Structure 1
Amino acid sequence: MKKDRLLAKWLNDDLSPDELTAFEASPDFEKYQKIKKYTAHLEAGDLDENTMLSNILSQKKATPKVVPLYQKWILKAAAILVLALGITFAMKAFMPQTETADFGKKTAFSLPDNSEVVLNSGSEIHYKKWNWDNNRHLELKGEAYFKVAKGRKFEVQTNLGKVTVLGTQFNVKARKNKFDVVCYEGRVKVTYSNAEILLTHGQSVRFENGKEIKMTVSALKPEWIDNQICFYKENIRALLDEVERQYNIKIDLNAKDTVSLFTGKLPAKDLNTALQIISTTYHLEAKKVSNNKIIFDEK
């Protein structure tokens, strides 16, 4: 213990002359002297805790990633595009869809459940894609032929009446004061005012000015699909209105007989033949004033 105390005092140059003489005479003095010589250059600096903490924090802090300006612009543009596409999709799903067939044309399309629709000339349909499978409802103006896929209740609403089915083929026509429904397959329920009528294959019904007229149909599909205009007890003005729609023309009638009823067919792709049949039936003379205007005069 005394030896260790002397060693400590010697290292601190704190020995008295007598103690130094005795220490230098010890057998281990030469070894102590070598250790002191080789460790003399080592220094323990003052501990600066604040500096040490700052160094540690600076080493852990990640170098910020610099994003070029053009990359920021691309990211913003992509975000705007995604948002725009989302809004467009939502609008298409929620907003009413419209399908039209202009005069002189027919339009065929499929509904979201793959039900098939053919619109006759001068007709249009409105419906919504959103939740279609659970709410198969559409609005019809004019005439259309439907091949309905099986599923939930399918409704066709017109300004004159409504047709309800589950899965079948039928034709609906609502023009002016006349509402016609023909069932070609399955069953359909027709609602007109306060009346409900069930039609099966080959049956049809017409409501005109509030009166019901039942008819039997032998065709497998509407004649107008094959470009034949079919009439059943139509007056000449109703007949000419349909010819105007099919050929996209204007017809003026100068005749006294507008009451006689016509039952038969007219071609929808041969105007000259159609005009000849009308002229012969009603004893009229057809004059082409222009490419899209015809005048019927009495002979």
Structure 2
Amino acid sequence: MKKNRLLAKWLNNDLSQDELAAFEASPDFEKYQKIKQYTDHLAMDDLDENAMLSNILKQKKATPKVVPLYKKWAFRAAAIFVLALGVTLAFNFLTPQTQTAGFGEKTTFSLPDNSTVVLNSGSEINYKKLNWSSHRTLDLKGEAYFRVAKGRRFEVHTNLGKVTVLGTQFNVKARKNRFDVVCYEGRVKVNYANTQIILTHGQSVSFENKNQTNTIVNVSKPEWMDNQISFYKEDIRSLLDEVERQYNITVELNSKDTTSLFTGKLPSKDLNVALHIISTTYHLEAKKVSENKIIFDEK
């Protein structure tokens, strides 16, 4: 509006010196000047003011529809909001979702069907929200406990094998070459290499280097959810890897005996007790060389 007033005053030569200087400095001045040059030579016939007024009065006046400026901005803002919302929702549903639990952490979250997942330390899950109700599939790296809502088939894929259920509670662990599945409720189907096995309540299976071990469990959920790390016939290096994940530390082992298998439990919230159990079992001496590094030496 201010620019239009200045343009009108300039055409009528009514600008003050300061206004003229500011107007000539504007980026559009050159364009206005050219327009004025091309139109100055045009001549108009003398107007019959009385005839013009009579014609105007004879014509039916149409009431212009005025849309308040604030309404225009409101419509525009609403359109932008709807567009942004649509883009956000589409991006959210199409983009793979990732949930992680860092070393020394545990993460609990819900899937779109309200199934519950608890991730153990050093673990990750990826899935897509799009068509989740008809395609309940996710990828797991590490270990997780699942409480699956009833519905269509539910699949957990790992680099070592696949677990398929309809509605149940189970635990899956895929670390290095070891694949463990425990069924706490209902039944699950486990696929490993060319082997397929059905587990029911209280049954567990472990695969390592194509060797299968079946066991019975008498607990209602994984011990790690109660801050206990449970091992069944695992070597010391696998045991120390889990200690590193649970306590977010680095462990160095100086021992010739790395093949003896360990079955038992370690606390995941008391490092000194865990180190004492390992030292006693393997006849080692634990040295804390820094805040986050432990060295085991042979006695």
Matches within 5 A, 1:158-197: 158-197=158-197
**Counterpart in the other structure of 1:203:** 203
Q: Does 1:246 align with 2:267?
A: no
Aligned to 2:126: 126
Runs of 4 or more off by more than 2 Å in structure 1?
51-56, 70-82
Q: Deviations over 1:54-96 (max 9, x none)?
A: 845x32x23141543x664554344223211211111111211
Aligned residue for 1:81? 81
**Which whole-Å CA distance do the structure 2 matches of 1:265 and 1:158 have between them?**
25
The C-alpha deviation readout for 1:245-271, integer Å capped at 9, x for no partner, is: 000111011111111111000000000
CA distance in 2, matches of 1:153, 1:74: 46
Give the gaps of 5 or more residues in structure 1: 1-50
Q: Note closer, same or farther for the CA distance 1:77–1:189 as it changes in structure 2 (3 Å cut).
A: same
> Structure 1, residues 132-177: CA drift from partner, whole Å, max 9, x if none?
1111111100000011111110100111110000111100001111
State the 1:296 CA deviation.
0.7
Unaligned runs of 5+ in 2: 1-53
Identity of aligned residues (%): 71
Query: Secondary structure of 1:114's match?
Result: coil
* Structure 1 counterpart of 2:137: 137
Is 1:63–2:64 an aligned residue pair?
yes
2:281 corresponds in structure 1 to 281
- 2:266 aligns to what? 266
Moved more, 263-272 or 79-88: 79-88
CA distance in structure 1 between the aligned counterparts of 2:241 and 2:125, rounded to whole angstroms: 20
Distance in 2 (CA, whole Å) between partners of 1:153 and 1:298 is: 50
Other structure's SS at 2:133 match: helix
TM-score after normalising by structure 1: 0.78
Give the paired residue count: 247
3-state DSSP class of the match of 1:130? Answer: coil
Q: Note the C-alpha offset of 1:224.
A: 0.4
Give the root-mean-square deviation of aligned CA atoms. Answer: 1.9
2:87 and 2:112 map into 1 onto residues whose CA distance is: 20
Shift, 1:291, TM fit:
1.2
Q: Distance in 2 between matches of 1:226 and 1:65?
A: 69
Partner in structure 1 of residue 100 of structure 2:
100
Q: Which moved more, 1:277-286 or 1:82-91?
A: 82-91
Q: Which has the larger radius of gyration?
A: 1
The TM-score, its normalising length taken from structure 2, stands at 0.78
Deviates more, 1:71-80 or 1:121-130: 71-80
Q: Helix, strand or coil for the counterpart of 1:238?
A: helix
